[in-house]
Structure 1
């Protein structure tokens, strides 16, 4: 079953078995995040993103705007936000039992800058899961001020494995 598939798929399979159920246990969600960020993959840039709360329809994460995530204006880099949209919504889809998928569309709107040293809270929601497509939404907030920094939409094609 796992020939040619990712280690993340194997880990999630071990956590879920054959079921497609929503993972709400924080320990299991943290294991998925940690596993996705290990090794030499591009996901390493997201190792500072920590899931803090899960609900049936929402995954809440947070991270600090560190110097290596900033641009020349010393604010959160837009490219990092774009990758975080991809990474967090993908982890949310894995949490919903969909182990293998590829991006079809990713859109980000930037409202305000995330300042260096600030804590950013994200709220990801899987809006709809069909047989072939899944639609996710994510919001980025300054956690202290509770102001909206960015918003993203992500559409993924679900692969049948």
Structure 2
């Protein structure tokens, strides 16, 4: 997989990327949630990126909304599978523990790693951390069905 294609997908350069999410209307959550994400590091099975929390992803008190954090776990968790060159399918499970918060204007670092890549399932770990104070915001585990086409040879 071309890491540049994955970067374009995450950083919202969809028209230049050949990657598409088949699980929702094109660009619906992607544009809302992923706008402003920037890649710090990308490698096979790992993405490190960050976002400055915008108003659109917050609740009434200006804190990162739990649903927005869940969407980031889902979208970045799906995207990290692209770095392996294996086509991804539906989510089987998403589990998130919320341990802190971030507010409008705070920088949030998102580290996403493939914990296990099997024949039919990928297990992904995602951590969201507030860069302003180092606080862990959320820990997610995302399990994806994959359409593994690796040869047995």
TM-score bracket, normalised by the shorter chain, equals: 0.7 to 0.9
Q: Secondary structure at the match of 2:104?
A: coil
* Cα drift, residue 32 of structure 1: 2.9
Which residue of 2 is the match for residue 32 of structure 1?
Answer: 9
Which residue of 1 is the match for residue 39 of structure 2?
Answer: 51
* Residues 55-66 of structure 1 aligned to structure 2 (within 5 Å): 55-66=43-54
Could you list the structure 1 runs, at least 4 aligned residues long, displaced by more than 3 angstroms after superposition.
none
* Residues 93-132 of structure 1 aligned to structure 2 (within 5 Å): 93-132=81-120
CA-atom RMSD in angstroms: 2.1
* CA deviation map 1:91-139 (0-9, x unaligned): 0001111223110000111111111110000100000111100000000
* CA deviation map 1:35-90 (0-9, x unaligned): 259x5432112122222212444210100111111101110010000010000011
CA contact (8 A) 1:103 1:154 kept: yes
Q: Whose helix fraction is larger, Structure 1's or Structure 2's?
A: 1
TM-score, normalised on structure 2? 0.81
Cα distance in 1 for partners of 2:44, 2:120 equals: 21
* CA deviation map 1:132-151 (0-9, x unaligned): 00000000011122221111
Q: 1:158 to 1:147 in 2, by over 3 A?
A: same
Q: 1:55 to 1:105 in 2, by over 3 A?
A: same
| Paired residue total | 138
